[in-house]
């Protein structure tokens, strides 16, 4: 037991043939496995120190970047019945090409000569307006003539009044002279009669004086009559002056009333013409709307109404068109927790569905079949799926996107963030920590500062 002898006990006993001894010996193949495991472990440990680029991933689809380039539905402005289709699905059309033709379904527009008849009504109304305008011109001339006649008559009557005033003054002077003459005649008669009674005058002289006194009395009466007549004529001329003015003002008022009434009818007729012209223009536009045309160059995607004779409502969609020259972009949806890591101008790698690719998200340089993009728009509110939409356009410094991609196809994308060790990234993923965003914030701040300087 103390192994004092040079002779080995195990060899003498032959214990290598025992079952327990065979279990304690390690076979050579297990040594090979151990070496492989140690090599793999060493390789994995070495991989922990490899560089890894952090990223934010999202899935979305291809969509036109500009709103006018997105698929649009062509609506029928009028209610109608489909008469003829001029296109088929998938056909390329140019702006203004006829897509389909519809016919009228409202009974008030059934008359095929409605435009001609409306135009005839407008012409008749214009003739009526012309007649009323001529009537207005005639009434204006009549009012002018009445005003001129009024001025002439007033001047004539005023002159007549003035003439009679002069005549009254003259007759009044004659009357006053006759009164004075008659008074003198009476005085002379009285003195002569007194002398006759005294026997100082003859009867012949008394008779002659009596005759002269009577003549003076007759002249006084005649002068008084003439004065009264002249005064009456003056009053009549003044009354005539007032009556002339009142008569002409009445005629002028009636003419002006007719003029105003005719002018009102004229304005009403002109308003009717304006309404009828609007209606005529609407009818012309309506007749053009029976032909539904392509709003822009593009491709007919789908006919939403089919068949001949099918009726459509006002504003109803009839066909869908995809614009031909659409600038495509990627519409990615990212989680709210990843949204602060993105900013306008952020570099993104995208992979298109149906496009062969070999992707290493942490080593973008080793990926094959991916394409570069730049974040252009980040929505301020979330979408219906609870995620935030990000619009990405092609990176001008990277490979051009394939021409065969179509709007609506799926896209997988990831935004490139910081370069870290693979071991750190695995540790972060296992613990659920967010990506490192120090470099991201610095890039975003520099991008915002640059955009402000550009503005």
Clarify whether residues 219 and 264 are in a common domain: yes
Number of H-type helices and E-type strands within the chain = 7, 14
Structure tokens at 230: 């002249």
Using a cut of 0.75, tell me whether the model's pTM lies above it: no
CA distance 378 to 390: 5
Q: For position 331, which CATH number holds?
A: 2.40.30.170
Residue 136 inside a domain? The answer is yes
Clarify whether residues 187 and 230 are in a common domain: yes
Clarify whether residues 274 and 373 are in a common domain: no
Check residue 117 and give its pLDDT: 86
Total residues belonging to the chain: 455
> Strand 72-76 to strand 316-323: parallel, antiparallel, or no bridges (unpaired)?
antiparallel
Residue 301 inside a domain? The answer is yes
Residue 35 inside a domain? The answer is no
CA distance 147 to 406: 85
Clarify whether residues 377 and 419 are in a common domain: yes
Check residue 429 and give its pLDDT: 64
> Which of 288, 315, 344 marks a domain boundary?
288
Chunk the chain into consecutive blocks of 10 residues (it has 455) and report each block's average pLDDT, rounded to whole numbers. Answer: 51 53 57 77 72 71 81 85 87 88 83 84 88 87 83 81 81 79 77 74 73 79 82 82 82 86 87 88 84 87 82 86 82 81 82 65 56 86 84 86 80 70 66 56 45 45
Clarify whether residues 316 and 330 are in a common domain: no
Clarify whether residues 62 and 79 are in a common domain: no
418: number of Cβ within 10 Å: 17
Looking up tokens 């967010």, which residue turns up?
434
Number of domains comprising the chain? 3
Residue 317 inside a domain? The answer is yes
Looking up tokens 């490192």, which residue turns up?
436
Q: For position 305, which CATH number holds?
A: 2.40.50.100
Structure tokens at 100: 């389909």
Residue 5 inside a domain? The answer is no
CA distance 454 to 400: 27
Q: Quick one: which of 103, 98, 102, 101 has its CA closest to 293?
A: 98
CA distance 223 to 80: 101
Task: Please enumerate in sequence order all residues whose Cβ is within 8 A of that of 344, keeping only pairs 6 or more positions apart, or say none.
Answer: 375, 376, 377, 378, 447, 451
Clarify whether residues 303 and 381 are in a common domain: no
Partnered with residue 390 across adjacent β-strands are: 332, 378
Clarify whether residues 152 and 167 are in a common domain: yes
Residue 276 inside a domain? The answer is yes
CA distance 105 to 314: 11
CA distance 349 to 416: 7
Clarify whether residues 279 and 314 are in a common domain: no
Check residue 332 and give its pLDDT: 87
DSSP string, 132-181: HHHHHHHHHHHHHHHHHHHHHHHHHHHHHHHHHHHHHHHHHHHHHHHHHH
**H helix intervals, 289-437:** 422-431
The dihedral sign for the CA sequence 272, 274, 277, 278: negative
Clarify whether residues 266 and 392 are in a common domain: no
CA distance 452 to 57: 29
Partnered with residue 348 across adjacent β-strands are: 373, 415
> Which of 288, 306, 339 marks a domain boundary?
288
Residue 315 belongs to domain spanning: 71-97+294-323
Clarify whether residues 153 and 249 are in a common domain: yes
> Which of 288, 313, 336 marks a domain boundary?
288
Check residue 448 and give its pLDDT: 43
Residue 358 inside a domain? The answer is yes
Residue 402 inside a domain? The answer is yes
Clarify whether residues 429 and 306 are in a common domain: no
């Amino acid at each position: 037991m103390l192994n004092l002898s040079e002779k080995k006990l195990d060899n003498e006993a032959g214990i290598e043939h025992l079952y327990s001894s065979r279990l304690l010996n390690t076979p050579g193949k297990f040594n090979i496995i151990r070496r492989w495991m140690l090599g793999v472990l060493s390789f994995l440990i070495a991989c922990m120190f490899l560089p890894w680029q952090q990223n934010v991933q999202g899935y979305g689809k291809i969509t036109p970047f500009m709103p006018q380039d997105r698929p649009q539905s062509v609506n029928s402005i009028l209610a109608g019945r489909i008469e003829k289709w001029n296109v088929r699905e998938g056909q390329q059309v140019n702006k203004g090409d006829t897509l389909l033709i519809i016919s009228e379904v409202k009974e008030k527009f059934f008359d095929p000569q409605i435009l001609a008849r409306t135009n005839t009504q407008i012409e008749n109304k214009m003739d009526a307006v012309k007649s009323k305008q001529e009537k207005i011109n005639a009434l204006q001339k009549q009012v002018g003539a009445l005003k001129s006649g009024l001025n002439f008559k007033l001047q004539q009557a005023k002159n007549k009044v003035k003439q009679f005033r002069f005549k009254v003054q003259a007759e009044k002077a004659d009357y006053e002279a006759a009164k004075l003459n008659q008074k003198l005649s009476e005085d002379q008669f009285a003195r002569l009669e007194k002398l006759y009674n005294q026997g100082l005058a003859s009867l012949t002289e008394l008779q002659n004086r009596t005759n002269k006194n009577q003549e003076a009395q007759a002249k006084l009466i005649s002068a008084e009559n003439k004065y009264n007549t002249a005064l009456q004529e003056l009053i009549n001329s003044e009354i005539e002056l007032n009556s002339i003015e009142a008569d002409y003002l009445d005629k002028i008022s009636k003419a002006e009333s007719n003029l105003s009434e005719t002018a009102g009818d004229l304005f009403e007729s002109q308003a009717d013409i304006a309404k009828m012209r609007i209606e005529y223009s609407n009818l012309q536009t309506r007749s053009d709307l029976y032909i539904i045309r392509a709003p822009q160059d593009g491709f007919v995607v789908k006919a939403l109404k089919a068949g001949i004779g099918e009726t459509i409502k006002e504003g109803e969609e009839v066909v869908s068109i995809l614009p031909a020259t659409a600038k495509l972009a990627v519409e990615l949806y990212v989680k709210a927790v990843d949204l602060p890591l993105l900013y306008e101008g952020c570099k993104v790698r995208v992979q298109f569905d149906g496009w062969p690719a070999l992707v290493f998200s942490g080593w973008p340089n080793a990926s094959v079949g991916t394409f570069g993009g730049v974040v252009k728009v980040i929505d301020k509110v979330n979408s219906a799926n609870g995620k935030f939409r990000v619009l990405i356009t092609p990176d001008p410094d990277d490979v051009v996107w394939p021409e065969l991609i179509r709007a609506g196809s799926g896209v997988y994308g990831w935004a490139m963030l910081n370069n870290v060790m693979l071991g750190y990234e695995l540790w972060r993923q296992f613990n659920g920590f967010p990506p490192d965003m120090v470099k991201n914030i610095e890039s975003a701040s520099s991008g915002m500062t640059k955009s402000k300087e550009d503005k």
